[in-house]
Amino acid sequence: MTHTAVIAGVGPGLGESLARKFAAEGCQVALFARSAGYIEELAEKLPAPGEGLAVQTDLTDIEQIRKGFTAVREAFGAVDVLVNHASAASWKGLMDVSVEEFEQSWAVNGRGAFVCSREAVSDMLQTGGGTVIFTGATSSVRSLGGAIGFTAAKFAARGMAMDIAQEFGSEGIHVSHVVIDGQIDTPGVPDKEDETILDPNEMAETYWHLIKQDDVSTQPFEVHITNGPQNSEFI
């Protein structure tokens, strides 16, 4: 079966690794990001037998998201895989963060994922099922303090994922929330020799495993990805 996957929020690191992994497995992969240049180049270089589509999309803009999904359907057909991967954060606490910064985190992590999920699930209900994956963080289950906008938005996204899972599991739609407990190896990471740095290519294997399983009744809701001594008390 050829999957049509939307990765909402693609950049260097895990987003790129997800796109490459999905394409290598034969998926048609739509890349959503606010900046067009990077995703256009990535879409052209995805490995065979997959096919890429760059869709410039501001995930804080509801109409742009809807138009993005329309473009995917016109190019590839109905969507049966969605990864809500976008993230926005200002690393500030309660007294330092502005209302605008707080709302920006929510607009991307919360509302953007909500609109993307509505679009994708509407397709999945017509075609008999699919997979929705939310990329979470330690802050989605255990606040570390000092990043209230990011924490609030990630908590909201986790709750939203759980609610969608409960509502549509019986319809053949599997929803997973992936808690990333550690620093991902991306351009600009200062100490790449640190043994706790997470390899995005290995992480992409975990995401693909969640998609390729056939029996949705046995799939986990939440997966924790960690490597070494991280903030893992909640596991």
What's the mean pLDDT in 79-94? 92
Q: What is the pLDDT of residues 121-142, one digit of tens each?
A: 999 999 999 999 999 998 888 8
Mean model confidence pLDDT for the chain: 91
pLDDT band at residue 183 using 50, 70 and 90 as cut-offs: confident
- The confidence score (pLDDT) of residue 213 equals 79
CB neighbourhood size of 29 (10 A): 30
Which is more confident, 71 or 139? Answer: 71
Q: Where are the domains of the chain?
A: 4-226
Q: What pLDDT score does 147 carry?
A: 92
CA atoms within 13 A on the CB side of 153: 28
Check residue 228 and give its pLDDT.
Answer: 61
Give me the sheet containing 51-56, strands edge to edge: 51-56, 28-33, 4-8, 81-84, 130-137, 173-181, 222-226
Percent of the chain with pLDDT over 70: 91
Evaluate if residue 232 carries a pLDDT over 60: no
pLDDT higher at 90 or 129: 129
d(CA 212, CA 55): 25
Which has more confidence, 32 or 191? 32
pLDDT in tens, 105-121: 999 999 999 999 999 99
Over 60: is that where the pLDDT of 170 sits?
Answer: yes
Q: Determine if residue 114 is left, alpha or beta; phi over 0 gives left, psi from -120 to 50 gives alpha, anything else beta.
A: alpha
pLDDT band at 192 (very low <50, low <70, confident <90, very high): low
Closest CA to 174 of 224, 130, 136: 130
**CATH of region 4-226, choose from 2.60.120.10, 1.10.630.10, 3.40.50.720, 3.40.50.2300:** 3.40.50.720
Residue recorded with tokens 């908590």: 155
Which of 148-152, 190-194, 213-217 is least confident?
190-194
In this prediction the pTM is 0.93
pLDDT in tens, 13-25: 999 999 999 999 9
